[in-house]
Structure 1
């Protein structure tokens, strides 16, 4: 079902107004595999003129889509979920080659996305409006009734990242569609092939022409133009804090929903279950090489427990599968680019030079960085504050939970934190004081279940995601006031 989104020269096309087209320019961007640098395909470097056409198409189509019933929209989403599962093997292969994620995790992402889409349809069908009597407010009689329903915002720009190219694109597209919006998907260049395949799934399921469109191209050339385009009514972005702040700065009067960076802390208290704690830290820090905004990115552990925890972590790191996901279901795989690997190595070298104790790892082969653990990391080291997006974890020793809270909150980020303790009073004490969107008690930091609220504070994001929350974010209340004649 995917053959005609690309030509015989491995050049992919973009979806615009129901057709797969080349850009006005003949310029193409190579998409190479992080696994072996092989050419996977070429995507159009779309121009500002292309963007104008896409935006007009999306604007015109949205008006018709808004008149489609909720139940009909839901049917299309159910079909999309079915098609995802029917094509799971092919999609997993594309994703594995494009972002170096192991096959098992790719399939898991696709299955989870299908569930997300179905739950989104179910949730939207069950969202209701309200009627508000006027006499409930002092000074008004009972001759006024406000009928409140939700209206679409218009054209949603969905900008998705490389690390979850199916799930984090669909988590923007599905709620936007159910709210009655049209969508322009701008996937990360590394991840764009997966994004285009996903767009084809929605098209095949029956999304009308122009309601879902795609744009590929260099952010340095068209990024600002897209985000400030007058045809955009809402921006849903997942990516770096740096880019998110720029979008926030240059846009005006456009609602934003953004998931940005994180420096998620695992706080380990004296009474923590060490086996449970170590297992969760390992899974949270090293799965998919730590290339997740919700990865455990630092451990704040009380001194009395630190030696024992470090010993357990080292033992478990020695058993982590490392390598090419084509050969095994590896947890630690090559990073997405040489630039990403270079940055992680900078943090490693800084920690070494400033006296941190390298417990294990620290070596590199190409873009593959072996799982790395540092002990006795101090707050003057970059690794204590900067997000590596790689398989390196700092242990910061603290005297008590108050010091852990203070260090955790000193970060510019505020996505999630974990607290490991058997004392429920301490769990709530710490959770109440942490400046983050979510606190996990006795579990690794993670996204989901997808109907839970998901948000970051400070430099970690803006707005609240989660199925119902996303639908509400990408719609607005509209009130119609009925004025009855007084009798």
Structure 2
């Protein structure tokens, strides 16, 4: 289907749509044309949203678990009914190929479904044995989890539906009001979630979804009435926001340059299939896309030959085309930046095996070798469809190379060896190790996040709910 976008979209202030202006232009990322306009919040509106969230703290806390579940299940039903519309809007505003857009809508639905189940699960507390010595005889202890209070969310452009869902859904399940700043380049998905939330009986002020200028991030960060900040985006911005966050809890899901190891004896056909997907889906614009590839020297020739063949078969272009796998990057300026990194790597001695070209915002799927370690394609987050291939002779060497990064979210290891699999889990400095799978694989109830410059804390519904709640202990002394 081809979606007819509205001429303008409101922001949501205290659960209600407000068509205050048309200040934010949203473009079709493939054509570059302005396709709609969105209301942009200013500092006064953000202040009103925070005030409303504070006022909604008690009503949200008092929502029974089954009532929170009902809100989340309403969203599931409406997302299912509007699935193709949501996918096509995502295709337009993010440039995501339509097949991948449908996949993200599926994950949006699953994320809200899991949150609905977590909302009524009995992992919210525990009975404690306090009689550990004579002095505590006759004492009983227990604790429960209570909502932390108003939360502040800042979501990124690359997964406008699902990464927004990973903040919004656990907040509702936990009983926390929130204010959300969606990415200015892709605000429509979050606003459509707001449109559906507005159909529910959530207390007034339970949510506000406010596209705003980059300066608005400071207001979402510094206000002490907000008890938690959850940010997904670039490391430089994330750590800067943390430094300004004051006393509030901070969860950061930041960048990466994920490595994938192809060990001796790995199933090469399977590994190639997974690596191609992990490297080039979403045009490489994922913090866990395959960027660094470490191949055992005895497998290199066969593996690279198969990888080249598979990469060259990928179709690039218009994301509305059902056969397109690699669509545009989020902006032509980002494509130009990546093209420059590729050329710099080539000038430093790197060899382009395939790709390297650019047509507007579309960068060809690119494989390179011999790229020096100090080049951005090795040391930084490329966030585009480029893979750098290196060789190793010893598995310990591959582990050291993987760890030689300031980032650490996921790493993939294709190996037939259980010993190597377990050693990778022990030694790799990352948030998650995936055996015989690409690092970009994720299921939405998994604890997800990184170490080092890649972030702080974990997403995944149960783990996000834990961050959005606090432990309150009860001690009873027997008479």
| TM bin (shorter chain) | over 0.9
Alignment of structure 1 residues 329-478 onto 2, 5 Å: 329-478=323-472
Partners of 1:190 and 1:50 lie apart in 2 by 20
Q: Is the 8 A contact 1:323 1:368 kept in 2?
A: yes
Alignment of structure 1 residues 55-454 onto 2, 5 Å: 55-128=50-123, 129-135=125-131, 137-219=132-214, 221-454=215-448
Partners of 1:243 and 1:378 lie apart in 2 by 27
Aligned to 1:12, which of 9, 12, 29? 9
How far the C-alpha of 1:27 sits from its partner, in A, is 6.7
Q: Is the 8 A contact 1:456 1:462 kept in 2?
A: yes
Q: Is the 8 A contact 1:58 1:155 kept in 2?
A: yes
Partners of 2:303 and 2:341 lie apart in 1 by 23
Change in CA separation of 1:252 and 1:189 when aligned onto 2, cut-off 3 Å? same
Partners of 1:168 and 1:236 lie apart in 2 by 11
How far the C-alpha of 1:348 sits from its partner, in A, is 0.3
Partners of 1:127 and 1:260 lie apart in 2 by 31
1:117-140 CA-to-partner distances (Å, cap 9, x unmatched) read 1111112211342222321x2243
Q: Is the 8 A contact 1:156 1:184 kept in 2?
A: yes
Partners of 2:386 and 2:142 lie apart in 1 by 54
Q: Is the 8 A contact 2:149 2:176 kept in 1?
A: yes
Larger CA deviation: 141-150 vs 172-181: 141-150
How far the C-alpha of 1:377 sits from its partner, in A, is 2.4
| SS at 2:56 equivalent | helix
Structure 2 gap ranges (5+) = none
| SS at 2:298 equivalent | helix
| SS at 1:126 equivalent | coil
Match of 2:24 in 1: 29
1:158-202 CA-to-partner distances (Å, cap 9, x unmatched) read 211111111111111111111110011110011101110111112
Change in CA separation of 1:447 and 1:218 when aligned onto 2, cut-off 3 Å? farther
Partners of 1:56 and 1:308 lie apart in 2 by 61
Q: Report how many residues are paired.
A: 475
Partners of 2:148 and 2:229 lie apart in 1 by 11
Q: Is the 8 A contact 1:401 1:430 kept in 2?
A: no
TM-score (norm 2): 0.96
- How large is the RMSD of aligned CA atoms in angstroms? 1.7
| SS at 1:418 equivalent | strand
Partners of 1:477 and 1:459 lie apart in 2 by 28
How far the C-alpha of 1:447 sits from its partner, in A, is 4.5
Partners of 1:53 and 1:62 lie apart in 2 by 14
Partners of 2:298 and 2:15 lie apart in 1 by 62
How far the C-alpha of 1:205 sits from its partner, in A, is 3.5
Partners of 1:385 and 1:39 lie apart in 2 by 35
Q: Is the 8 A contact 2:118 2:173 kept in 1?
A: no
How far the C-alpha of 1:325 sits from its partner, in A, is 1.2
Partners of 1:121 and 1:134 lie apart in 2 by 33
How far the C-alpha of 1:33 sits from its partner, in A, is 1.3
Q: Is the 8 A contact 2:224 2:248 kept in 1?
A: no
Q: Is the 8 A contact 1:43 1:217 kept in 2?
A: no
Larger CA deviation: 386-395 vs 141-150: 141-150
Partners of 1:127 and 1:248 lie apart in 2 by 32
Partners of 1:447 and 1:305 lie apart in 2 by 23
How far the C-alpha of 1:151 sits from its partner, in A, is 0.4
TM-score (norm 1): 0.94
Q: Is the 8 A contact 2:98 2:321 kept in 1?
A: no
